[in-house]
Structure 1
Amino acid sequence: MNPLVDIAQKTCYRLAITNYCGEGGDGMEEYFELLQRSPLFESVDAEGMRHILHCLEAYVSMGGKGEIINHYGDRIVWAGIVLEGKVALIAPGSDGEESSIRLAVPPESFGCSHSCLQNQPSQVTVVARKRTKILFLKLSKLLRREAMGCRYASLVTANLLKQTAAANLAQGRRIHVMSQKSIRDKLLLFLEQSRQEEADTLSAMNRQELADYLGTERSALSREMARMKKEGLIDYCRNEIKILSEN
């Protein structure tokens, strides 16, 4: 067996299904306000939400901290949107070590590209970092011929294209950060990127998750942050970090 798959499958929990979308989106109304803040459903009204959730066979699952949503190597059919909690996308290494690729918090999504293409093996394991509720959608149905004449499907498809473009840009920013040689340079660049984007990404990360994102050890990151604070370059409290000096 591929050692990466073996590592990813050591834990075999699955989220428990709690609710299926009924005819016309019945049973999903409590999530509409949150979903309308998701890039995937931008400009979709309540009527459109009912229609598209039913068409995409939406259902909600929930589970506790540490439970597996998707394993590395799984053939992905469903995309997920985080309704509650937080999930981590983790890439297992051949040596047994794991690296966090990114986090997803409400109302962010994961698995969209795989869901569109179908039957493509996942390159990450998706794990709940706390008690989590996920909305699953079969996005491949947006690409069917019958969906082309639906204005709601067309709107969500356009949103999906924009979301995919944004994800590509985010990946480019991550590559830029990882290309820096020192922990200090990686952290300063990441902080500057977050400030320019006015993003909440940093506040959603704990110290271990930040270390994983930067590709370094938590202890080494903590030591470097302490030195930078002493030098007056940054200040921090818990998960909040800010740049004090441009030099």
Structure 2
Amino acid sequence: MIFLDWEAVGNNRLFQGISEAELKRMLGCAKFQYKMYHKGDVIFRQDESVENFYVLLKGQVTIAKHLISGKKNILYIVRENQIFGEEQTFQYGAWALSDVELIEMPKTFFYSFCSNACKHHKQLIQNILEMLSIKEELAVKKINIVSAVSLKERISIWILEEADEYGIVRVEMNREDLADYLGVARPSLSRTLMQMQGEGMIEVGKKQIRILDVKKIQTLSN
């Protein structure tokens, strides 16, 4: 028997405006599945036709594509309380970046209403449309990064996008994955980060990057 933390599930943006009783009834109607994956596990492979929609409860998931050259193109990272897998055929695959807990729901549940046309089902559709607009922003962010001419520009754009109010970027990816996300070789990324640190722009730590000169970073990102 599955013991879900219903309060945590209800806090997911996808289920906002839906009571716990409605949520339990709705997920039961959808025949949902609760799944756990270990770091590095494949959730689905690229070009695979999958019938489920994924709601990430805990952990992080990498959405990426393995190229014929052997390189990997990371599109974005899915974080807790986000959704993924809305495409019909996946040109990208999904891998657990950390230990993961998620809910799988059949896509057909989102595309059609039951005979009762429940209010909470309508709220769910509204929520998912709002969340898909956030996914579009993630894709636009990636386009802005890879369209930059130099690696310093790419890094600067990424840093400004990810930095918190204190100018700190929490680096969730390892150096190899970050290089794949930025579309460069790992040695080039490491070398450029050290150059930027030497020029007083940033301070590079193992799990974070701190902005030291925001004006220089902003100049590079424009």
TM-score (normalised: structure 1): 0.78
Structure 2 residue 109 is the aligned partner of structure 1 residue 141:
yes
Query: Any idea what the Cα deviations from partners look like across 1:17-58, whole Å, max 9, x if unmatched?
Result: xx6xxxxxxx45x33232233221123221122122112221
Match among 17, 33, 43 for residue 7 of structure 2: 33
The aligned length equals 215
Quick one: percent identity of the two aligned structures? 21
Alignment partner of 1:210 out of 175, 178, 181: 178
Shift, 1:210, TM fit: 1.9
Corresponding residue number in structure 2 for 1:24:
none
Match of 1:8 in 2: none
Q: CA deviation at 1:202?
A: 4.5
Cα offset for 1:184?
0.8
Deviation larger for 37-46 or 68-77: 37-46
Aligned counterparts of 1:147 and 1:86: Cα–Cα separation in 2: 36
What are the equivalent positions in structure 2 for 1:93-242 lying under 5 Å apart?
93-111=67-85, 113-114=86-87, 120-146=88-114, 149-195=117-163, 202-242=170-210
Whether contact under 8 Å (1:147, 1:154) holds in the other structure is no
Structure 2 unaligned residues grouped into runs of 5+: 217-222
| Selected match of 1:72 from 29, 46, 50 | 46
SS in 2 for 1:61: strand
Root mean square deviation, CA, Å: 2.5
* 2:220 alignment counterpart: none
- In structure 2, what is the Cα distance between the partners aligned to 1:31 and 1:235? 39
The residue identity in structure 1 corresponding to 2:55 is: I
Q: Is the 8 A contact 1:207 1:218 kept in 2?
A: yes
Deviations 1:188-217 (A, max 9, x none): 11111223799x985432322222221112
| Equivalent position SS for 1:149 | coil
**1:105-124, Cα deviation, whole Å (9 max, x unpaired):** 3222210x22xxxxx32111
Give, in angstroms, the shift of residue 220 of structure 1: 1.0
- Kindly state the Cα deviation for residue 159 of structure 1 after the two structures are TM-superposed: 0.7
Q: 1:244 to 1:148 in 2, by over 3 A?
A: farther
Deviations 1:93-147 (Å, cap 9, x if unpaired)?
A: 1223222222223222210x22xxxxx3211121223333221112321221427
Unaligned regions of 5+ residues in structure 1, if any? Answer: 1-18, 20-26, 115-119
Contact conserved, 2:76 with 2:142, CA < 8 A, in 1?
A: no
- TM-score, structure 2 normalization: 0.86
Kept after mapping to 1: 8 A contact 2:12/2:82: yes
